[in-house]
Amino acid sequence: MSYPFWDVPIGYGVLMAVIAVFHVFVSHFAIGGGLYLVVSEQLARKAGDSPRLEFLEKLSRFFVLVTLVAGALTGVGIWFIIGLIAPTATEALIHNYVWGWATEWTFFVVEIAAAMIYFYGWKTMTPRAHMAVGWVYFVFAWLSLFIINGIITFMLTPGQWLATGDFWDGFFNPTFWASLVLRTGVCVMLAGLYALLVASRYQAGEFKERTVRYTAGWGVVGLAVTALCQYWYWKAIPAAVVAKALQTMPTPIHSIEYSVWLAAGIGALLVVFGVLAPRRLSMAAAALLMVLGLAWFGAFEWFRESIRKPYVITGYIYGNGVELAKTASYKKDGYLAQVVYRTGDDGADLFRHACRSCHTLDGYKALKPVFDGTDRAFIAAIIRSAHLLKGNMPPFLGTAAEADKIADYLSQRLDKRPLAEIYKLEGVELGRKAYELRCGKCHVIGAASDKSKSFAGQSADDLNNMLNMAADLGAGMPAYTGAATERGALVSFLAQLGKGAKK
């Protein structure tokens, strides 16, 4: 917490995703493109295929100019943004991997130089020298992936590093190889998708047919490698992390589901156009393939980022920048004692440092709608019990007085009207809403910590008594502080829930 907090109106997660997904897309393109160009050039030269060589020269303009420029810009953009939103984690990555980064930057310089020579050398260099430079471009691009892959995978699965602090333990961590082969597959697939887009603009004819066929092959091979590795990657994540995600974390699980559907869509289109109707590949279909590819990659990265919750570096730093090693001193002295840059408004500062890195008030992962119509005592209890809530959040390590200050800060910004009025609901429907806000944060119906069975066969009086004793039902469960109308509605809803559970 020795860094100031950066206030932005939108969520940190969204901001990061926009830049990072674009960057990974472009940078994987550049690597796969290098391989596609040099392998295809070699084949085309051997076959004396000059239309193919012309096509490749055209293609190299995009790969070299666009991907390198956009890749370099967004790459710097990522450093800029992670330094602002996760300074503690960025510091840890730099300290532990300074030689890794230095090596990667050196490889990147070689990659750029080789790519430019390759692009400008089509007409002036001997074929042999040109292809040699092409290989240098691809190999160094791939080597920079090799290095970055070690550091990115370390964040999710630091493995032995947590105990040894050894560079190589962190680098060759449990998900390193699965992720490396997966990303290599992605590079090949994306290179194929882009080359298809360029090929789709050609007149339907013999050249288009064989080029689309050949290039779709790249897409299919890349996709197959990727799909197999996604399973391998999933298996390489420690079982405890996966189990927790399946129980309480909707986001990563949905991301996996989307990615499977997207991969099926990409595969189907590649087969249709690559095998059955290569001459009919239109620009629209090729563009759709690109969009699906981008969406697939986005879903995978979203999975990787979200399954890491509540950490930014698993087992080492929480998503809000709190280092696990400092847990004891937080618990003893509270958050504010650790916050160096303070604004004078303690509630706001506490909210920023404990919650704001993942939540906004009313935008991304908004807290306003999940607290509107509740009360300050309830909010404070929820904050103290953050570790019990669905979503796998970091524990609240501040003092009880600090939880009250955040609750004050939040409750001043909420809709204070009764629930019935805010949502225009009554009866069981009002009860359902009350459940969602006051119980569903911990007891998700049909999933984590479902309590429906406990309500079976209970009379309204029993249920009312249960609510009276709410704070005693479990360590960390809030007292019931809702108003009378809402309570009556909640009791009817619980009774209904109990009946459903009995069947």
Smallest gap from Cβ 233 to ligand HEC, in A, equals: 21
Binding residues for ligand HEC (CB under 6 A): 250-251, 309-310, 319-320, 354-355, 357-359, 365, 367, 370, 382-383, 385-386, 388-391, 393-394, 396, 406, 438-439, 441-443, 449, 451, 454, 466, 470, 473-474, 476-478, 480
Q: How far apart are CA 168 and CA 150, in angstroms?
A: 9
Q: Which one, 315 or 476, has the nearer CB to ligand HEC?
A: 476
From residue 283, how far is each of 123, 201, 272, 292, 398 by CA, in Å? 29, 6, 15, 14, 56
Report the nearest approach of ligand HEC to the CB of residue 250 (Å): 6
Smallest gap, in angstroms, from Cβ of residue 470 to ligand HEC?
A: 6
**Residue 298 or 391: which CB sits closer to ligand HEC?**
391
Nearest-approach distance from CB 489 to ligand HEC, in angstroms: 12
Closest distance of CB 327 from ligand HEC, Å: 14
Residue recorded with tokens 């493995």 = 159
Decide whether 197 or 245 has the Cβ nearer to ligand HEC.
245
Cβ pair 235, 256 in contact under 8 A: no
Tokens standing for residue 339 = 């916050």
Supply the minimum distance, in Å, between the C-beta of residue 342 and ligand HEC: 17
**Least spacing, CB of residue 367 vs ligand HEC, in Å:** 6
Long-range contacts of 197-202 (CB under 8 A, 24+ apart): 197/283, 197/286, 197/287, 197/289, 197/290, 198/55, 198/58, 198/59, 198/62, 199/55, 199/281, 199/286, 200/281, 200/282, 200/283, 200/285, 200/286, 201/283
Closer of 267 and 315 to ligand HEC (Cβ)? 315
Nearest to ligand HEC of 226, 411 (CB atom): 411
Q: Which is nearer to ligand HEC, 215 or 248 (CB)?
A: 248
- Which SS3 state, helix, strand or coil, does residue 12 take? helix
Question: Nearer to ligand HEC by C-beta: 189 or 386?
Answer: 386
Whole-angstrom distance, CA of residue 258 vs CA of residue 240? 23
Task: Please count the CA atoms within 13 angstroms of the CA of 324 that sit on its side-chain side.
Answer: 12
Minimum CB separation from ligand HEC for residue 438, in Å? 4
Cα 390 to Cα 250: distance, rounded to the nearest angstrom = 9
Distance, in Å, from the CA atom of 260 to the CA atom of 265, rounded to the nearest integer, reads 9
**Minimal distance, residue 283 CB to ligand HEC, in Å:** 37
What minimum distance in Å lies between the beta carbon of 454 and ligand HEC? 4
Distance of CA 246 to the CA centre of its chain: 16
> What string of H, E and C letters represents the secondary structure of 284-313?
HHHHHHHHHHHHHHHHHHHHHHHCCCCEEE
**Residue 330 is which amino acid?**
Y
The one-letter amino acid at 19:
I
* Of 51 and 369, CB closest to ligand HEC: 369
Decide: residue 477, CB within 10 A, 0-12 exposed, 13-18 middle, 19+ buried: middle
The neighbour count for residue 235, using CB atoms within 10 Å, is: 12
* Residue with Cβ nearer ligand HEC (347 or 474): 474
Using the structure block, give the residue that is written with the tokens 């129980």: 247
Of 165 and 369, the one with the shorter C-beta distance to ligand HEC is 369
